[in-house]
Chain A
Amino acid sequence: MNFLEKKSPLDRYIADVRSYLPRKNRNDIVEELRANLSEKLADRAEVAGVELNAESEIKILSEFGHPLRVAAEYQGSGRSLIGPTLYPFYRMSVLSSLGVSTCIILLLMLAEVIFRVDLGDVYRPWIFVNSYIYIVGVITAGFVITERLMEHYNYLDSWQPNAMNQADNALASAWGALIACIASVTWLVILNLVDINHDLNTLLGRNPNPIYTLVLWCKIQTLILIPQYFYLIFNQAWSRNRLLLRMGSELVLTQGCVIVLFGNAPDVLANYPDVPPSAALIFNYVLWGFLIMTVISAYSYWHKLTRLPAND
């Protein structure tokens, strides 16, 4: 058949199905499908006693179903990006992250109006879209990797009732860990909206803007925390090493707060002259708040660690 010849409805239908099929076995499937459909058309023509016209052919082919559906049936139960086991968690993670990031961006916009602070591009409308894409991408990648790892290590099949956490050994629930994970990813995305240099000078507080130093330390801490929260979703039992790692993660931010509070960086007011002194004071309170909270948190993990049975 050359391109000047008009294709029959059967040819067009077969070509459509073919285009949706994977390369492997495509020709074989199409050849067989053509044979079966030709049989059907011939049978119908025989019953009707007349040769079928294009309209009748289309009607008969429509009984076969949409080419996409037919191709899907031939492909069988192909794998999906996120399977049904993790999908409810995935959906909840995406929705809650989007909700949280919307609230944070709205708060930033509100701060701009109240304090008349120019926070750069952080609150521009396109940032909504940008941060949503980041969030969905990061969460999707996390879930895809988790699902593949679960399959690889037969995680669900290897489950044993006696492997369940003892009530007094589990310091978190799976849902709590999931929420912490979502909050961390969202927090990281928001932190990424601040345009900072990831260098030693910023890390050690030599950057003229102390906010940048704090943001960098927050980023480091969040990056260390996310995998821990992720693992915690599937295993809530605490071990000595996990508690030590968590304690270390808290102290990372403590370190950042100390550098900003007691380092040689200029005051916030030097960078943002339009900011009222009250806002600068709030920044200092926030820093002290972070410092105290991280120290308390690190101490609580240390306390738990000392109470763990020796064999853990």
Chain B
Amino acid sequence: MSEKLEAMRLELRRGILILAVLNALKQEQYGYSLRKALQAVDIDIEEGTLYPLVRRLESYGLLASRWSSDEGRKRRYYQTSAQGEETLKTLEADWQQLNRSIAKISKIGNKALVGNKEVVI
């Protein structure tokens, strides 16, 4: 079960990862710093997944990028584009709506359980 649970958690996180990345990249960042920024808020994502995702979002026009060697190292910086901001607003609204729906259905489910006396308190 733990493997299946892990797969389900991964699937759930994958869906909201775009939200996290677009939000984090409102401030310009390069790949590794983005990963650390996400880790700092407990979003631990494998680099092998994160970097390709960032590139994909860029190819969709949701991120803008530039190469820079300002700090002595060559880095590719990414930032959420205007189109990305628009998309983010839509996705966040969807996310909020989903949260509300899940809360509602969870409430209904819990009531039904109490009604059936299946809850042991």
* Co-complex (A, B): yes
Q: Which residues of A contact B (CB under 8 A)?
A: 29, 31-33, 35-36, 38-40, 42-43, 63-65, 69-70, 73-74, 76
Nearest-CB residue, chain A, relative to B76: A32
Q: Which chain A residues lie closer than 8 Å to B48 at the CB level?
A: 64-65, 69-70, 73
Known: A64-B47, A65-B46. A39 touches B32 (CB 8 A): yes
Minimum CB–CB distance from B29 to chain A (whole Å) comes to 11
- How many residues on B have C-beta within 8 angstroms of the other chain's C-beta atoms? 17
Q: CA–CA, A38 to B52, complex, Å?
A: 17
Chain B residues 16 to 33 lying within 8 A of chain A, measured CB to CB, are 30-33
Assess whether B49 is in contact with A38, with CB atoms less than 8 Å apart: no
Given A70-B48, A73-B48, A73-B49: A39 and B75 interface contact (C-beta under 8 Å)? yes
* Bound CA–CA A43/B30 (angstroms): 14
Q: Report the minimum CB–CB distance from A91 to chain B (whole Å).
A: 22
- Inside 8 A of B31's CB, which chain A residues have their CB? 32, 35-36, 39
Min CB–CB distance A111 → chain B (angstroms) = 51
CA of A76 to CA of B57, assembled, Å: 11
A40 touches B47 (CB 8 A): yes
Q: Which residue, of B33, B47, B48, B74, has the highest number of chain A Cβ atoms within 10 A?
A: B48
Bound-state CA distance A109–B48 (Å) is: 54
Per the bound structure, the CA–CA distance linking A84 and B98 in Å amounts to: 28
Question: Is A40 a contact partner of B76 (Cβ separation < 8 A)?
Answer: no
The smallest beta-carbon distance between B79 and chain A, in angstroms, is 15
Given A40-B32, A76-B56: A35 and B51 interface contact (C-beta under 8 Å): no
> A36's closest neighbor in chain B, by CB?
B31
Chain B residues lying within 8 Å of A74, measured Cβ to Cβ, are 51-52, 55
In the complex formed, the residue of B with least CB distance to A41 is B32
Pair A76/B52 contact, Cβ less than 8 Å: yes
Closest A residue to B49 using CB positions:
A73
Given contacts A35-B75, A36-B47, A65-B46, contact A43 B52 (CB under 8 A): no
CB pair A36–B32 under 8 Å, yes or no, is yes
In the assembled complex, how far is the CB of residue B10 from the closest CB belonging to chain A, in whole angstroms?
13
Q: Smallest CB–CB gap between A13 and chain B, Å?
A: 11
Give chain B nearest CB distance to A43 CB in angstroms.
Answer: 7
Given A40-B47, A64-B47, A65-B46, check contact A35 B52 (CB 8 Å): no
- Whether A32 and B32, one on each chain, are in contact in the complex, defined by CB atoms closer than 8 angstroms, is no
Asked whether B55 lies within 8 Å of A35 as measured between CB atoms, the reply is no
Q: Could you tell me the distance between the alpha carbons of A31 and B33 in the complex, rounded to whole angstroms?
A: 17
6 sample A-B contacts, Cβ–Cβ < 8 Å, listed by A number? A32-B31, A35-B75, A36-B32, A36-B47, A64-B47, A73-B52
Q: A31 to nearest B CB, angstroms?
A: 8
